[in-house]
Amino acid sequence: MFGKLKNKWKVSGGRLALILLSFALGGSLCGYTGRKLLSLTGVEKGVLWVVLYIIFIIILWPIAVIAVSLLTGQFRFFGDYLRRMGRRMAGKGPEKHINIAIFASGAGSNAEKIITTLPSFFAREKVRPNIVVVITDNPSAGVVSIAKHNHIAAEIIHLKNKTPHEVSFAYLSLLKKYHVDFIVLAGYLKMIPADVIKAFPRKIVNIHPALLPAYGGTGMYGSRVHEAVLAAGEKKSGISIHEVDEVYDNGKIVFQASCDIDQGETVASLAQKIHVLEHRHYSEVIAGILHRI
């Protein structure tokens, strides 16, 4: 039974336990509150009491489970669950859920923008993006706090002193645990193993802070990219969103946007322009890809 629920809801065993706990506590809270409200009406137990109790339960149950889910950290699941129930009651049919993992190594501004804006591109669609986990190689990365604040699981992947096989196994185990369908790299600095790329063909995207194929490759990330662009005297820079393959910054380019480089431009000022482009376009481009898979 529990195995079927894990597969149906695409959650880990630990998260399933919290979801079932939320259901149980929410039901108890709902029943208790319903009886308390009925006691205030003065209605004697009988047919009318039962009818009113059922009405109270129908009204109170969504409120109760959402309240409990805030305490158990399962608010996102129950928000989606109630939305699906509403769609069924309205005769709109089930939604297709796409489970997404975000990989990030730093502060997580791109990850936060994706978490907060990606759902808006699916407001009237049957497709529902579900960001189920944030994975990082850096325990002190700011993205960990962002994930927890948004009630998303955060996993630290430990890669030091591991063989290539062990590294691949570590990634694939986490992705299987959360039933991931699609991977978004948002400032992730580690090479994705070939086994992971094979397991997710054309389902891993990255954003690079330059106009590829220039200024990409090993060691080209963050301020290093902007320093190289300015040192070369370029007049423009920008962002490139691309599929991920076995070579750094080499996959098929999906989207590019550019910005002018002004006279006297600094690494910091150029980085700010690039951040604006990243935040403006990444979620929308991801949404376009998800609509096609």
What residues are labeled active site? 208
- Pull the structure tokens for residue 279: 């935040």
C-alpha of 18 from chain center: 19
Consecutive H or E run containing 135: strand 127-136
Angle between helices 267-292 and 223-231 (to 10 degrees): 120
The 3-state DSSP class for residue 274 equals helix
Among 280, 288, 234, CA closest to 109: 280
In order of 69, 169, 203, the CA distances from 293 in angstroms are: 31, 25, 9
Q: Which residue has the tokens 């989606």?
A: 80
Q: How many of the other CB atoms lie within 10 Å of CB of 273?
A: 20
